[in-house]
Structure formats: C-alpha cells, structure tokens
Structure 1
Amino acid sequence: MTQREAYDRFRALHERGRAFIMPNAWDAASAAIFADAGFEALGSTSLAIAFSLGRVDGLRAVSREEAIANAGLLARVSELPVNGDLEDGFGEAPEDCELTVEAAVAGGLAGLGIEDTTADPLRPIHDFDDAVARVAAAAKRAKGRIVLTARTDNFLHGRPDLDDTIRRLTAFADVGADVLYAPALPDQDAVRAVVRAVAPKPLNVLLGPFDGFIPLAELDALGAVRISIGGAAYLRAMGEVKTTAAKLANGDLSAASGGIRSGDISRLFPTNMD
C-alpha cells in the first residue's frame, strides 16, 4: 500500500459517519495481532516506544527518526493506515512541525498527531498564539497529503480548563487541522461540548471520558469519531509480564506457558516483509 493509498483510506474512515477504534500498537507482533483482529487503522504510542528503548516516557524521549521508523514498521506489518504519535512535532518552532510532516509522509504514514506541549516543565503548554502557529504550519504541509491531528494536552498537565481547550481546538480546526484531540476530557458533557465546538471536523477521544469507560456505541452517540487507546494495551501486556515474573520468581515454571504460540504470530506477518 502506498502512502497515498493509506492516506485516502484513513481519511475515508473519518468521513463515513460512525465511530471507529484505532488501537495503538508498539511493535511488529502487536501490529499484526491488531490487524488480524479486524481493525481498520492503527496508531503508534510514544510511551511504548520510549519504554521499549529503556527511556523514561516524556516529551522527545525518542527522536523524530525513531518515532517515524516505528510507525512505518507498524504500517508495513499490518498493511493498514497508521497514525504516528509524533508528540510536539520534535521542536518548538513551526518549522520543526513542518519538517515532521514531511518526514511522516516520506515514512509512509497515513496520519500524524502534533500536540501543544513544550519541553519546559514550568510551562508545559505552548501559549495560545504559538500553539496555533505551529498547527497552521503543519497543516499547510499536510493538506491533501496526510491526516493531521492537532491535540491540546491541557487536561494532562494540570490545566482542566474546558473553555481554553475548546478555544485551542477550534483554532486548530480553523487553521487546517483535520482531526482534533484533547486527551482526558473529564466526562460525557465535556466530550459532547468539544464535539459541537469542532464540528464538522472529527474528534479523537482517548478510551472514553476520564470518569469511566463507556461503550463504543455511546461514544458514537456523543459524536466522537475516532477512539484511540494510547499506551493502554502496552501497559496491559507489561502487566501480564509482571505477573508472570512474580510467579516465576516463586518457582512456578508453569507461569511461563499458555501464551500465544510463536507460529500464530509468524503467520500474521506479510510474506513481502524485508
């Protein structure tokens, strides 16, 4: 599948009028398993990339090149459109975001996300005008080539200001973002309010409102279009590893058995992989 084909397929998912789940994979095996389960698109997750490389998760814990290489691997293995978790665009300036868009297109990605976070823990969110300028620069490069998701992390950084979140997302939409995203919206009312504010552009929701999981059908009824899971599946898998390790440490060798068979993973890989 060419990058253009992946982009066209990914864009069409957002336009068909019903919500879809986009799970976040982290390596070839997880991408193949999600694809085999019938998902139509995947996302990458910066958390899992960082942890897999032995780095503490945080802004720019991985490089632009590492993040795009990982997302490109997910795309090749799954043969699905992949949205790259590309954090803040790997730089403070609008030009950094432009470079990230170009690299994502060259890397075969169908979409990418750029957020309004900074590398300064004392000022974790870009000022409004700077945040909008960065999205506007990315959108000019992305238009008609790759699906751009613009994200504000207010609620992840101790800024539970729904009005400012909506102000940012509507501004991002106005300057050309294709999809809008605010992780950890507090409740269904907040999701509904954001959906109305950014319409007709689609909203990505992380798992569901922060106050609890609700079924996909209910998120669809609220107007959310894309549901991602961030690092949740990776952390669930690592939870199983931790449980197994504890049992092994107590001498229970049977704890290492009973997982998926290696052949059941191998058969999921495309035959034309390098």
Structure 2
Amino acid sequence: MMPTTADKRTIFRKMHEAGCFVLPNPFDVGSAKALQHLGFKAVASTSAGFAWTIGKADNRVTLEEVLAHLAAISEAVDIPVNADFEGGFAHEAAKVGVNVARAVRSGVAGLSIEDSTGDKAKPLYDRGLAVERIKAARAAIDADNSGVMLTGRCEAFLWGQTDLNLVIDRLKAYSDAGADCLYAPGIKTKDDIAAVVKAVHPKPVNLLIGASGLSLKDAEALGVRRISVGGSLARSAWAGFMKAAKEMAEKGTFAELGQGYPGGELNKMFS
C-alpha cells in the first residue's frame, strides 16, 4: 500500500534517530524515481539542480516553480522528500512563514531555511532576523501539526566567512528557535564537523559532500546523521550531456553517445 504523506513524515523523523544515511539530491521526477529504485530511503531536492532543468541559474527560480516541483516529486515517489527551500523566498520572517506553510502543503517530509541574503556585500542576514525567520518557519510547520522536519542552515562557509564560532553560534540559535536538524554547508575537516555535531547535540547534523570527502562510515563515526550531495548528481548528468553535445558541435562525430546508459535498462526501471 502506498504510504501517506503522514507516513513519510513519520518515517523521515525516525531515520534521524540513529546512524547515518545518504540523502541524495535528484533534480526531477525521473531522477527521484531512479534513486528510489536504487534503494535510497529518502531524497532531497536541490535548488541548483532543479533550476538547471528549467534553464535558469541557481537562486533564480520562482516560488511557484519550486512548489510545483516539490509537489511533483513528492507525489512521484513512495519515500520522504526533503525540500531545499532556499531562503524561504522572502526576507521578512512573516512572509517566510506564509511560504513555508505552502511548502508543507506540497507533501514534503522536511524542508530547510538558509540564512544567506544573496547579497555579496552582506551575505548573511543579521543574526536576530535569521533566528526570527527560523521561528516563523517553525510556527508555520506546527500550525497544522504537520510533523515536517525543519532544517536550519548557516551558509557562512559558502560565502567565505569561515569563522566556526560564528557558525556554531548561529546553528545553536536556530536549534533553540525550533530547527530539528542543523546544516552548515561548506564545512569539511573532521575537527570542524565534530565540533558542530558536539555543539548542537542531540539534534542531528546534515553534512554536504561533493566530489570527494569523507565516506559514509567516516561521517557516521563523527556523529553525522545524514549526508546530502547538493547539485553534484545534476552536475554529473550535465557532464555526460555536455561532453556528447560538444563533440557533435565541434567535431561532427558521435562517439560519446555510446557512453549513454542503456535505454532498455531505463525503460525497465520506469516501467
């Protein structure tokens, strides 16, 4: 029997109670279904990966586009979906809350709110406002007892602000404001990861891993609960596409097309 949205949310919460799991990031319905087929127990959207599928740069998609995307993926798979909800598509805390309420209705089991402004001159929201934004998201999630997990993200490292004390201070504040899971994309060293895990314990920590880094076993040993890969799967798919397309455009040859995944296998997977 197909799990209900409530079932998915309950399952997703239980996944964070012990151990460490990979939360891969599909970029469309097909890639989400493929990851389910491979045995992953949950997936997470990627703002960048989705944006590229509709011919836009990261952080340039609209709220309506993202809500439709989240609903489509949540409906297509039987496993929990965590939403990369960027900055909530608003600056003011109250508007973040309104938008989070709409995201909850898309059927997701979790969502994240980040503290980056998109402004290089002032990349992070003031701490007080960042905390209010998390509180607003929490209130919106709890308004109908949805059970959606809220992840609070500190984006400092991605913007070149590599002060771990600042990151930990913010993550602890987001935890106090109601975040169920904490996430600081960009941290990489074992010492930094262990420090973040210790600081927000017993709340779970999400770790971003790209082309290299710790293994699942390494991350688990440090106390990490889940690993996501951001836009890496999408970039891998684009790498194959662009390599074959460039060969056709520049050389008029077609050798790279022979490297494609077998169509018969794809049809079998999606049948």
TM-score by length of 2: 0.92
CA contact (8 A) 2:188 2:213 kept: no
Q: Show the counterpart of 2:36.
A: 35
Tell me the CA shift for residue 246 of structure 1. 2.8
Q: Which runs of 5+ in 1 are unaligned?
A: none
RMSD of aligned residue pairs (Cα, Å): 1.7
Q: Show the counterpart of 2:65.
A: 66
CA contact (8 A) 1:68 1:84 kept: no
Q: Does 1:153 align with 2:155?
A: yes
Q: Show the counterpart of 2:92.
A: 93
Tell me the CA shift for residue 230 of structure 1. 0.2
Tell me the CA shift for residue 120 of structure 1. 2.8
Q: Show the counterpart of 2:130.
A: 131
User: What is the aligned-residue identity percentage?
Assistant: 37
CA contact (8 A) 2:131 2:173 kept: yes
Per-residue CA distance 1:24-65 (angstroms, 9 max, x = gap): 00112111111111000001111012222222223xx11122
Tell me the CA shift for residue 267 of structure 1. 4.2
Q: Show the counterpart of 1:256.
A: 257
Q: Show the counterpart of 1:115.
A: 114
Report the CA distance shift for 1:267/1:75 in structure 2 as closer, same or farther (over 3 A): farther
Aligned residue pairs total 265
Tell me the CA shift for residue 253 of structure 1. 2.3
Per-residue CA distance 1:179-236 (angstroms, 9 max, x = gap): 000001041100000000001000000017x9x5111001000000010000001001
Q: Secondary structure at the match of 1:257?
A: helix
Q: Show the counterpart of 1:191.
A: 193
Could you tell me how far apart the structure 1 residues matched to 2:141 and 2:204 are? 16
Could you tell me how far apart the structure 2 residues matched to 1:109 and 1:6 are? 8
CA contact (8 A) 2:29 2:76 kept: yes
Q: Secondary structure at the match of 2:30?
A: helix
Q: Show the counterpart of 1:4.
A: 6
Tell me the CA shift for residue 135 of structure 1. 0.3
Q: Which runs of 5+ in 2 are unaligned?
A: none
CA contact (8 A) 1:206 1:228 kept: yes
Tell me the CA shift for residue 82 of structure 1. 0.4
Could you tell me how far apart the structure 2 residues matched to 1:96 and 1:41 are? 28
Q: Show the counterpart of 1:84.
A: 83
Could you tell me how far apart the structure 1 residues matched to 2:23 and 2:252 are? 39
Q: Secondary structure at the match of 2:40?
A: coil
Tell me the CA shift for residue 269 of structure 1. 4.1
Q: Show the counterpart of 2:229.
A: 229
Tell me the CA shift for residue 258 of structure 1. 4.3
Could you tell me how far apart the structure 2 residues matched to 1:94 and 1:3 are? 26
Could you tell me how far apart the structure 2 residues matched to 1:263 and 1:66 are? 31
